[in-house]
Chain A
Amino acid sequence: MSGALSGLRGRVSPNLVIAVVVLTAAAIFPLFRPPLDGFVDDCILALAYVVMALGLNIVVGFAGLLDLGYVAFYAFGAYTVGWFSSDFFNKVNGEKGVHVLAGSFPSSLPGIHLNFLLILVVAVVLAASAGVVIGLPTLRLRGDYIAIVTLAFGEIIGRFAVNGADINISGYKLTNGRQAISPVDQIDLPGIKEFDSAFSLRPYYWFILALVAFVLFVNFRLRDSRLGRAWIAIREDEVAAASMGIPLVKTKLFAYATGGALGGMAGAFLGAYFNSVQANVFQFGFSIFILAMIILGGLGSIWGVVIGAVSLSFINSYFIPDVFNSVPSKLGLDFDLTQLSFGIFGFLIVLMMILRPEGLLPERRRKMELTEGVGSDESVYEVRA
């Protein structure tokens, strides 16, 4: 995608080649695995986390607003799919349900059933508005005070998700609380056979891969847009940015809204992929998990964030449970490592951070700040041209 930009400048950069090769390889590899492969499942999760991490990167990496409550947007996205694509509102329309472009199977069920593309739109709108609401009280705050207010919002939303079963709004519960909203409809795209995660994970994989490609494109275009430059200016120096005529309120709220929208998108996808929306996952630890991805990858660097998200997600869902825990048995030792997986995850985070404090693939601008005087000014113009 950065390649697309350099393409505009009339030459093919090595980045473009790498991006095309990686994307192609990523697109065809599930064909060589069984349809219900566990590794493809891990990949789907990793890609969904990439979307979330790219969203959080806009808020924290570009605009420099530390957000510790990102899980709220996950919740909004997931509940959008839970509310509008299951039999949760089972009494609407005289128990016949409301169906908008829903697949053939859900069309016969009670409740509200929207097509997944509509769900995505609703999730984006809902999460973006939530982003603005969360952003408003932080406008006067600085630095880590922003962090605690966003954290507070995340916790409040998480609590509402858990306690939602006790809230009654005109005959309907707000959520099902710890009892999941389930089953949620499978994704159904116009013109393509309905997805079915019981038979093949491939459609889900390709869908989220396409979503990642789209989100990457949006991210690169945003970063180089007037708005993106305004975000970076605010991150570098808020007072200077304001005196250069950047409208702080609008720019910051846009950052929260855009970041939230991407989180909502990924949340809706995960809700549909898991076929259920369960309140237990919307906890502070999840926000920290996503934040660790973007800091580990390289704050503000889009490819860095992708690498960070993929690597942390794989460490968590593939490397530790599937590879690492089998080491003792391979060596012939009778020793259970599963009990230690949490600590090993922590240890790996510490290790990676100490070895690469600026992230795995730091943003070029930031790298230059850190090694002042080493980089030449010329490369700045090249990147920003």
Chain B
Amino acid sequence: MAFLLALPVYYGIQDLRDDGNLARLANNLFSGVSNGSIWALIAIGYTLVYGIIELINFAHGDNFMIGSFVSFSLYGTLGLTLATGTLGLVGGLLVCLLVAMAVCGTLNVMIERVGYRPLRNAPKLAPLITAVGFSFILQNVGIVWLGGSQRSVPDLINAQHVIVTPLGVAITNADVLAIAVTAPLVVLVTAFISRSRIGKAMRATAQDPEAARLMGINVDTTISFTFLLGGMLAGAAGLVYALYQTSIWYFQGFTAGLIAFTAAVMGGIGNIRGAVLGGLIIGCIQQISDNRIGAEWTPVVVFAYLIVIMVFRPRGLLGEETREAG
């Protein structure tokens, strides 16, 4: 755990020596949290699916990419431009959010139905490969849809506009948006899974699908529902990402998927709070590394952190015993 703090503490001391305050580090950490909240949304999808059928859903990141593309296309349909008034903008984006969530949720359920369900009794790694296949298919859809290069998105929310700077931390519109979308969704999903009847069915299926079936739980429906939930969160993340980065392309899902999967494992796969924590931590590491070490080394720093965490906490930060191990 002490290792986790090594990077921030080191640069904190450096900041204190150079500038006499911690503003730069605080800025890094804050934008890390807002950036990481997007990873957290995607990571929850990974962790839910892994928790229930022990599958690394490689198509999940590309599903998130489709979410971004859907939102981008909806701007045109809804007539959202830079000139749209605040009220219209909020309403329009809300529609975008709901549609993106619906599309990605449905897409995820369909992929599960076609690609994973027929392989439920197959060797454990077989669905992993269909997931890779679907990831390729979705990427190809992305290429055909918006071309093979980066596409800039209208900066509808004026993302880099600084609202306030308490204690030298610049809070931009993008940060507010990311946190305002992520936090309620995370709270909702957590509450849903711990309180609702179907959430209980999900937890039961995750623990022991056979026993759950014997207790009268419809395992297939429950699994479909898990994919729906994960897909919806990926769709939301897609919209936030498009507004936040103001640039999208077909390959974004691959990179984001890798990061989000790393986040899910770092936090302890199968654990929602762990996925959120992992996402936020990775966001912070990325920001610090981008800002201080150089963006080209960021993946090395992130993955080195992951390896060290795995060595000292083999089940992730908040991980519990998995079914396989128990």
The interface-forming segment of A5-13, A265-273, A350-358 is A350-358
Determine if A354 and B119 form an interchain contact, defined as CB atoms under 8 angstroms apart. Answer: yes
Q: Knowing A142-B324, A149-B306 touch, does A350 contact B133 (C-beta < 8 A)?
A: yes
Q: Which chain B residue has the least Cβ–Cβ distance from A144?
A: B56
Instruction: Give 1 or 0 for each of B282-326: 1 = CB within 8 Å of chain A CB.
Output: 000000000000001101100110110011001110000010110
Is A155 at the interface (CB under 8 A from chain B)? yes
Alpha-carbon gap, A350 to B269, bound state (A) = 25
Alpha-carbon gap, A357 to B123, bound state (A) = 7
Q: Knowing A153-B307, A284-B258 touch, does A354 contact B118 (C-beta < 8 A)?
A: yes
CB distance from A364 to the nearest CB of B (A): 14
Q: Knowing A292-B129, A349-B133, A357-B119 touch, does A145 contact B140 (C-beta < 8 A)?
A: no
Alpha-carbon gap, A340 to B254, bound state (A) = 18
Determine if A353 and B258 form an interchain contact, defined as CB atoms under 8 angstroms apart. Answer: no
Is A29 at the interface (CB under 8 A from chain B)? no
Q: Which of A180-224 contact B (CB under 8 A)?
A: none
Is B187 at the interface (CB under 8 A from chain A)? no
CB distance from A73 to the nearest CB of B (A): 17
Chain B residues near A366 (CB, 8 Å)? Answer: 123
Chain B residues near A296 (CB, 8 Å)? Answer: 129
Determine if A353 and B143 form an interchain contact, defined as CB atoms under 8 angstroms apart. Answer: no
Q: For B132, B136, B315, which residue has the most chain A Cβ atoms within 10 angstroms?
A: B136
Q: Which of B124-143 contact A (CB under 8 A)?
A: 125-130, 132-137, 139-141, 143
Alpha-carbon gap, A137 to B300, bound state (A) = 16
Alpha-carbon gap, A291 to B133, bound state (A) = 12
Determine if A346 and B135 form an interchain contact, defined as CB atoms under 8 angstroms apart. Answer: yes
CB distance from A287 to the nearest CB of B (A): 11
Total A residues in contact with B, Cβ cutoff 8 Å: 49
Determine if A299 and B140 form an interchain contact, defined as CB atoms under 8 angstroms apart. Answer: no
Determine if A144 and B143 form an interchain contact, defined as CB atoms under 8 angstroms apart. Answer: no
CB distance from A142 to the nearest CB of B (A): 5
Is B6 at the interface (CB under 8 A from chain A)? no
Alpha-carbon gap, A153 to B322, bound state (A) = 24
CB distance from B119 to the nearest CB of A (A): 5
Q: Which chain B residue has the least Cβ–Cβ distance from A296?
A: B129
Name the one of B56, B258, B299 contacting A159, with C-beta atoms under 8 angstroms: B299
Instruction: Give 1 or 0 for each of B112-125: 1 = CB within 8 Å of chain A CB.
Output: 00110011001101
Instruction: Give 1 or 0 for each of A121-155: 1 = CB within 8 Å of chain B CB.
Output: 00000000000000001101111110111011101
Determine if B125 and A299 form an interchain contact, defined as CB atoms under 8 angstroms apart. Answer: yes
Chain A residues near B56 (CB, 8 Å)? Answer: 144, 147
Chain B residues near A149 (CB, 8 Å)? Answer: 306-307, 310
Determine if B115 and A354 form an interchain contact, defined as CB atoms under 8 angstroms apart. Answer: yes
CB distance from A266 to the nearest CB of B (A): 21
Name the one of A143, A299, A357 contacting B324, with C-beta atoms under 8 angstroms: A143
Instruction: Give 1 or 0 for each of A245-281: 1 = CB within 8 Å of chain B CB.
Output: 0000000000000000000000000000000000000
Determine if B123 and A148 form an interchain contact, defined as CB atoms under 8 angstroms apart. Answer: no
Alpha-carbon gap, A358 to B129, bound state (A) = 12
Determine if B137 and A140 form an interchain contact, defined as CB atoms under 8 angstroms apart. Answer: no
Q: Knowing A339-B143, A354-B119, A357-B123 touch, does A145 contact B134 (C-beta < 8 A)?
A: no
CB distance from B133 to the nearest CB of A (A): 4
Is B265 at the interface (CB under 8 A from chain A)? yes
Chain A residues near B125 (CB, 8 Å)? Answer: 60, 66, 295, 299
Chain A residues near B50 (CB, 8 Å)? Answer: 144
Alpha-carbon gap, A340 to B62, bound state (A) = 16
Give residues in A with beta carbon < 8 Å to B: 60, 66, 137-138, 140-145, 147-149, 151-153, 155-156, 159-160, 162-163, 166, 284-285, 288, 291-292, 295-296, 299, 339-340, 342-350, 353-354, 357-359, 366, 370
- Contact sample, A vs B, 5 pairs, CB 8 Å cutoff: A144-B50, A145-B316, A295-B129, A353-B133, A357-B126
Give residues in B with beta carbon < 8 Å to A: 50, 54, 56, 58, 114-115, 118-119, 122-123, 125-130, 132-137, 139-141, 143-144, 254, 258, 261-262, 265, 269, 296-297, 299-300, 303-304, 306-307, 310-311, 314-316, 322, 324-325
